[in-house]
Chains A and B, each alone.
Chain A
Amino acid sequence: MRPAEPDGHPRRPIRRALLAGLVALVLVAAAAGTWLVLNSGSKKAGLDPQAAIDPDRGYHLVVWDYRLPYSSPSGAPFSESSAEAIRRFERRYPNVTVDLHLLDPSAGPTDLAAALTAGYPPDVYCSPFGPPATGSDLQIPIGLYLDYETWAEYHPVAWQTVKTGGTVWSWPRYLLLWPWLGNVDLLSLAGVDPAAISTGGWTREQFALAASGLAAAGGAGRSAFLATNSPAVVVRDLLFSAGLAGDAVDAEDSAGADPDAAGFWRGPKPGEVLRWLSRLDQAKTLQPASPNATVIDSFVRGRSAVLAGPSPWATLFLLEPVERPEAWQFTLPDRDDRPAMVLLPPPHGSREPSVVWVSAATVTVFRQARYRGDDNTRLAVELARELTVGTRPWLRDQYLCVPAAYGELASWRVRCERSGPVGLFAVRAFDQLARLPGGRLSSVLTTLDYGPYVPELGPSQGTEAGAAPRKPSPAGLLQPGYLGPFLRDVVAPSAARLWSGEISPEDMAAELGAFWAPAPPEGGD
């Protein structure tokens, strides 16, 4: 007979129960660990453009797109263009379901930054603000997935606008042209022919002469010749033609972040342009900097001759070539007392091309921190491409929005050419960009807009030639609007101080050049 325990109860059954519980716990933990390994950690994050799509697997993709205030001829909202593309895609891949989430333009970049920080960005991210410079290795370089046929479906200018650091980072959806706006009467008073400038461009000397001509013709009561709500945009637009001239920036189509960007910023061109801008400021040609300046209102009231800065959509709205629904609830003030306006290219140097800045509305693909497989990534890339198709009907009268794909580009061109001066200006501006050497255009766009903040390819993200990153960019770096990170963080503050006379053009050129100075060697005494 087994002896009783001191308290009179047998102890062994308790031990056995405890032991059994412990074993069960270990088994459950082992099973859970195995499941986790199988479902997440085991899938190595890679890029395989040929990854097979499993017809028996259910895929789920998430698309983020922006809520834009535009509609198709039938009145369907812009988001319907994405919904339609998603329906097409789901018909093609019946085992894929897609969720479309709409973003506010003012909050979308912040939402994306938060999602990236958490490691769970959307599979597909559509943006009117250009390729997001996320600095995240969750961003998928599209270039690896392009075959020749697909490449040939899009205009080369479109590819140049989404190429950063020699790598294509997004699908181009449509392009935005950024002309300046001119007051026809004031330009005529200044002694220039607005139609001729609109067609053929004007040099910086002609611009300065017109500014002094308006002042001499009694325009002293005007607040300025050139008004802007963003001095950085003026600097950007002036340096765009300067950068494209001759050998100012070497065409580096495949060499990562172009090595001569530093040479450009530390070279003579920025200083030359900034000195010219400063001379205009001293001649009281520029609208004074003021935090509460309402430059669009001033321009519309005829108090300035040239306006730079609003987005192409705002510019089109001011021109109003776009048909809008009747206001049946109320009556609007008429526009009859507004001045006649004309689209203008920014002034350029004597040996520089007359060009209009271009940015891209893009579709970008991300993977998630818990990798879901190369097949999932490939499907996301396919869906992103689908989203670039069929946008035109929703942007039919937005002449400064140029479709990226050839299929829609032709109808845009025909509509523009039949529409009048605005459409004709857009066609000319686009053709001017198309004539530029492709590599040079891409390099200058990157140099001016993104600077050294090119997205960084992670070690597992392919080996596309020349894709080596320059400087590591801070995580979550996203532009809240149209300005790229370099323009926003580096150029804009300096330009604002130049505009207000706080610093000289030499100071600003030195500041920008210093940003590109090589980092001092680390360590050592």
Chain B
Amino acid sequence: MAGEPARARGALSLASVFVLGLAALSLLLWPSGPPSLYSLWPAALGLPVPTCESGRLLVLRDPPLRGEDVAELQTALARLGVYEGPVDGIFSPETGAAVSVTRLRHGLAPVPRADTAFWTAIEGEWLAGPHGETAIPVAGTEAPPEGELLIVIDIERVRLTLFVNGFPHKSYPVAVGKSSTPSAVGQWVVRNKGIEVGPPFGSRWLGLSVPWGIYGIHGTNNPGSIGSAVSGGCIRMFNWNVEELYEWVPVGTKVYIVAPHWTASVSPSLPEGAVGLSVVFLQWQMLRLGWSPGDADARLGGATVRAVRNLEALYGLEVDGVVDRDLLCLLDLGP
């Protein structure tokens, strides 16, 4: 009989170890705290998780952390005037010292750790600093515009402009994709909206209909990056800007991402159903020349194939709907 309590104690201790292990694992995975419930839903549903922002906790380690996000941090620290070292993407002791100094200025523990508290703190400093802003603006004070809305993001001017009935209504600075992970040029629509999706995405999320990944317009916990080409392809905005836009823009709003000096090569053997940037380039050129391929939405589907067939018929080619070299020549996309 004495063995039963002993077995029970053993089971209890095993359960305790399991729970503690889970807690430790969760701390390891989410050192800055568990993510919000909203950010978990794509994974829970088996959907791809937004990949445009890393959201990594940046701390001083040995060997040091390396990456684009560290370079972003260094750029922000340099803009705040606390870092004069190289922007090399290496979380060096100098970088850590600059983070510590910045945290101290904001009443945080002076540790080399760029966490959510750190990014939230420097947002205010950033807005009061180099951009000439004097205070953090409050979103939602302006009446929502009435009419047909269109968002145009010029990734070379790093600006997002909201058009109402074809006229510019308001323009915002943004951060866009870096050269290795460019923003998705094309004609999209706002597919979904979310609040507090996760720390790297700031306070609001406007998901775009890009077919090859999860891209969106969102806020940021790194306001120092606004005005640069640093993101993983998403469009970053100041949180207070995206909060205003979020209120105005419904799901289904058109979003054009343009780049006047952008160019792409178009494969001469694009099959029907192809998806990608080269399809966007083809569609945009067909739009420019009046061939009505539908939106430049990166999908070589019904409207675009129909436009290809129309071009072939009018230009005296075999009407087969195939994007071949002759067709590219007759769209100025050939040699």
Contact = CB atoms under 8 A, between A and B. Distances in A.
A296 B335 contact: no
Tell which of A106, A107, A325, A328 has the most Cβ of chain B within 10 Å.
A106
Given A229-B318, A230-B316, A337 B335 contact: yes
Contacts of A106: 306, 309-310, 312-313, 319
Interface stretch (B109-117, B229-237, B322-330): B322-330
B292 interface: yes
A318 interface: yes
Contacts of B185: 329-330
Interface in B285-335: 285, 288-292, 296, 306, 309-319, 324-326, 328-330, 332-335
A310 B317 CA distance: 7
B260 interface: yes
Given A300-B335, A331-B263, A332-B333, A314 B316 contact: yes
B207 to A, nearest CB: 22
Contact of B291 (A69, A292, A301, A337): A69
Interface in A61-96: 67-71, 77
A104 interface: yes
Contacts of A57: none
B34 to A, nearest CB: 42
Contact of B329 (A297, A325, A327, A337): A297
Given A106-B319, A229-B316, A324 B325 contact: no
Interface in A333-354: 333, 335, 337-338
B326 to A, nearest CB: 4
B263 A104 contact: no
Nearest to B333: A333
A229 B320 CA distance: 13
Nearest to A320: B332
Contacts of A335: 332
A77 B287 CA distance: 13
Task: Determine the interface band of chain B, counting residues with CB < 8 A from chain A.
Answer: 35 or more
A68 B309 CA distance: 13
A385 B105 CA distance: 81
Tell which of A70, A296, A300, A338 has the most Cβ of chain B within 10 Å.
A296
Tell which of A68, A324, A481 has the most Cβ of chain B within 10 Å.
A481
A243 interface: no
Nearest to A332: B332
Contact of B289 (A295, A311, A324, A330): A324
B151 to A, nearest CB: 14
A105 interface: yes
Contacts of A68: 314
Given A229-B316, A310-B316, A69 B333 contact: no
Contacts of A328: 258, 260
B324 A294 contact: yes
B314 A128 contact: yes
B317 A324 contact: no
Interface in A208-240: 229-230, 233
Contacts of A233: 316
Contacts of A292: 324
B315 A317 contact: yes
B317 A331 contact: no
Contacts of A325: 288
B215 interface: no
Interface string B122-142: 000000000000000000000
A77 B329 CA distance: 23
A310 B314 CA distance: 9
A327 B319 contact: no
Q: Which 7 A-B pairs have the closest CB atoms?
A: A69-B290, A297-B325, A311-B316, A314-B315, A106-B309, A294-B325, A296-B326
Interface of B: 185, 256, 258-264, 268, 281, 284-285, 288-292, 296, 306, 309-319, 324-326, 328-330, 332-335
Given A105-B314, A314-B315, A314-B317, 12 more contacts: A104-B309, A104-B313, A106-B309, A106-B310, A107-B306, A296-B317, A296-B329, A324-B288, A329-B284, A330-B285, A333-B334, A335-B332
